[in-house]
Amino acid sequence: MPTDRAHGRTVKSRNAGTARRPRAGGLRLGAGVQLEKTAQRGATPVLLSPGGSVQLNQGAAAILRLCDGSRGRDAVIAEVVRRSRGKMRVSDVGEFIDAAVARGWIIEGA
């Protein structure tokens, strides 16, 4: 924990304990799979996997970014639809998740 040097006491951070932790059953990227960080706004996102690299559209990248182990399938779908302000449909997001699981890009945590 950080220490307040002026007063010699331990200071608890405001955000201590509030970080998201992976929950059982959460979606996460598969082994060896990662999203390439693009520095340029509007640049085409790329998925890197042991099978090669795949260019993604912005919607697919948005879905995969949420697969950090902290959300289950329904929560990922709901968050993607909410963030897209309804531009992405529940069925389309679900179909992408199914395809990504089949390719090993996403796994459901245990």
pLDDT in tens, 11-60: 443 334 434 444 457 999 999 999 987 666 668 899 999 989 999 999 99
List domains and CATH numbers for the chain. 26-108 (3.90.930.60)
Tell me, what's the pLDDT at 39?
63
Confidence of residue 108 (pLDDT cuts 50, 70, 90): confident
DSSP letter at 45 equals P
**5 token code pair:** 């040097």
Distance CA 53, CA 68 (A): 20
Confidence at 10, pLDDT banded by 50, 70, 90: very low
The answer to whether 49 touches 107, Cβ cutoff 8 Å, is no
| pLDDT of res. 24 | 57
pLDDT at 59: 93
Instruction: Report pTM.
Output: 0.73
pLDDT of residue 46: 93
**What's the confidence (pLDDT) of residue 26?**
94
Give, in degrees to the nearest 5, the angle at Cα 84 between 97 and 68. Answer: 45
C-alpha span between 68 and 47 (Å, rounded): 15
